[in-house]
Amino acid sequence: MAADGRSWGPLVGAVDQGTSSTRFLIFASNSAELLTYHQTEIHSVLPKEGWVEQDPMEILASVYECIEKAVANTRDLGIDVNDIKAIGITNQRETTVVWDKHTGEPLHNAIVWLDLRTAETVNRLIDSTPRKNKEHLKPLCGLPLATYFSAVKLRWLLDNSEKVALAVREGRAMFGTVDSWLLWNLTGGVKGGVHVTDVTNASRTMLLNIHTQQWDANLCKFFSLPMTILPEIRSSSEIYGYMVQGALKGLPISGCLGDQSAALVGQCCFTRGSAKNTYGTGCFLLYNTGTEPIPSEHGLLTTIAYKLGKDKPTFYALEGSVAIAGECVKWLRDNLGIIQKSSDIEALAATVTDTAGTHFVPAFSGLFAPYWESDARGIICGLTQFSTKAHIARAALEAVCFQTCEILEAMNKDSRIPLESLQVDGGMTQNNLLMQLQADLLGIQVVRPAMPETTALGVAMAAGAAEGVGVWSLDPADLTSITTDTFTPALSQDERDSRYGKWKYAVQKAMKWEGHTHKEPDSKPTD
């Protein structure tokens, strides 16, 4: 019961471990209301151009810190900590961790999903396929051969880190995405921690057969990876183990979802044809395709959306993944100094009415969906003496929107049922100008929930609904209605088509940069 006498009923905590920060949030299961949270920044290490690493121990420490400080907040609010009944974990996907099961020490920094060091590994693997086809494995795992996914990162570690290779040979190594690393540590680590993952995270490794929902021997053989280092695959909603230390010691950890699947659940996209787009470090559009995996013919991924219980059906999704969204704004802040803080971009971009012909293609990590071109690089083009930092800022926001347009175009072709509106979430959605630009450039309404923390909410729902916890009903009749803001397009179709065409032209200019060699002309021009 709170200090004001109000009873919140059962509460559920959610670890939201993202690329740029870690948070622990506490929700009331009866109302889906966010009561309190704590957040801390996560630092990335950039050893070389295109390389992105994070310290697994820092990630783990940040989770403990956020839990302790959020629980302290509940005491200040007069909320009984004993009302917290379960914890869920949602995480940045694909990011790869390998650690020693005897010491608990990481054997290498985590290789982050954005990292490009595996480009040569990917090219070598593509060349090993019968038709040199990057989509060779898609019928089994739903994913193309690309730097994005965990299997190629793990293969790189075995090829380039003797410490990792030796531990694998000696049977000491454990592999996992961030969820597995956290679950193993929070449930005991070297003293009996559980080595598990859920189907949504497993589906991002390239090692899961999306039809059987199990690790696939043929996929592991293709990458020459031992199956013995892989975690056990579980559903997204069940009790995996119990917290062994801290303020929530003894509490069950009963929900696990990759961050984009968690947002899909948090937006209550439980029916075939429902979709959401999350705007964070990257941008991720998921379209629920029901209980059958749908192959994409237009550059999208076939992935597992969720499996909310051991005996519950598995739902699948088509996904469009954009590598750089909020990261583009961060680059303008940290590398160019155009803005002092990320939230400043809205006011700066609003000082001009258009980009004055400027286009910004932020292909810092190549281009993800629908192109899957790792050799693309970022460009700013269409500049004139009239161009200002405000035009570049507005072009950055439009880049996020145009990339979403490309994904939605591919998704409409694959599903053959065009979306009539787009549900959105994520930190960037607080930017009203961005949301209006998105509606204008898509030509459909953009619907934003008043409570933006849908990723954490989704895994809290999964944790609270788990068998043995049972404090959160996922019955549609029991789900709380969501208050929303709606942005309506105010651009003509002709103008929309013209601007989209120019964007497509700019994207082509960003292609084939890496590895391109400029040749001098045979003869020099005369004076």
- Cα separation, 235 vs 199, whole angstroms: 6
- The chain-wide mean pLDDT, for the chain, equals 93
Structure confidence at residue 524 (pLDDT): 44
Chain CA centroid to CA 72, Å: 29
Residue 525 has pLDDT above 60, yes or no: no
Decide: 431 and 346 in contact? Cβ < 8 Å.
Answer: yes
**251-302: pLDDT as tens digits:** 999 999 999 999 999 999 998 888 899 998 889 999 999 999 999 999 899 9
Strand partners, 484: 449
pLDDT, tens digit, 9 for 90 and up, residues 22-78: 999 999 999 899 999 999 999 999 999 999 999 999 999 999 999 999 999 998 888
- Measured CA to CA, the distance from residue 74 to residue 78 in angstroms comes to 6
Q: Is the pLDDT of residue 5 over 80?
A: no
CA distances from residue 228 to 168, 196, 232, 364 in whole angstroms, order as listed: 9, 13, 10, 35
Identify the sign of the CA torsion 24, 28, 34, 35.
negative
Give the model confidence (pLDDT) of 83-97 as tens digits. 999 999 999 999 999
The answer, yes or no, to whether residue 1 has pLDDT greater than 70, is no
Question: What torsion do the CA atoms of 100, 102, 103, 104 make, to the nearest 10 degrees?
Answer: 60
Q: In a 3-state reduction of DSSP, which class is residue 17? A: strand
Q: What is the pLDDT of residue 526?
A: 40
User: Is the per-residue pLDDT at 15 higher than 90?
Assistant: yes
Q: What is the tens place of the pLDDT at every residue in 180-208?
A: 999 999 999 999 999 999 999 999 999 99
Give residue 483's pLDDT: 78
pLDDT band at 420 (very low <50, low <70, confident <90, very high): confident
Task: Give dist(CA 246, CA 226) in Å, integer.
Answer: 35
DSSP assignment of 155-204: HHHHHH-HHHHHHHHTT-EEEEEHHHHHHHHHTTGGGT---EEEHHHHTT
pTM attached to this predicted model: 0.91
Asked if residues 199 and 304 have their Cβ atoms less than 8 Å apart, the reply is: yes
- Residue 417's pLDDT is what? 80
In this structure, are residues 397 and 434 in contact, taking their beta carbons and an 8 Å threshold?
A: yes
Q: Which of 101, 97, 91 is nearest to 110 (CA)?
A: 97
The pLDDT of residue 527: 39
Q: Is the pLDDT of residue 391 over 90?
A: yes
Residue 247 has pLDDT above 50, yes or no: yes
Q: What is the pLDDT of residue 523?
A: 42
Q: Where are the beta strands (DSSP E) in 42-133?
A: 53-54, 84-91, 96-100, 110-111
Query: What pLDDT does 334 receive?
Result: 93
Res. 374 pLDDT band, cuts 50 70 90: confident
Question: DSSP readout, 270-326?
Answer: -STT-EEEEESSSEEEEEEEETS----SSSPEEEEEE--STTSPPEEEEEEEES-SH
Q: Give the 3-state secondary structure of residue 252.
A: strand
pLDDT, tens only, 345-358:
999 999 999 999 99
Q: Using 50, 70 and 90 to split pLDDT, how confident is the model at 510?
A: very high
Q: Which residues are registered as beta bridge partners of 480?
A: none
Q: Are 210 and 140 in contact (CB under 8 A)?
A: yes
Residue 454: per-residue pLDDT: 92
> Average pLDDT, stretch 483-495?
93
With CA atoms as reference, report the closest residue to 279 among 82, 479, 468, 422.
422
Q: What is the pLDDT of residues 425-456, one digit of tens each?
A: 988 999 999 999 999 999 999 999 988 889 99
pLDDT per residue as tens digits for the range 126-179: 999 999 999 999 999 999 999 999 999 999 999 999 999 999 999 999 999 999
Q: Please give the pLDDT value at position 6.
A: 59
**Mean of the pLDDT values across residues 514-525?**
49
For residue 266, which of 20, 82, 472, 70 has the smallest C-alpha distance?
A: 472
pLDDT above 70 covers a percentage of the chain that reads: 96
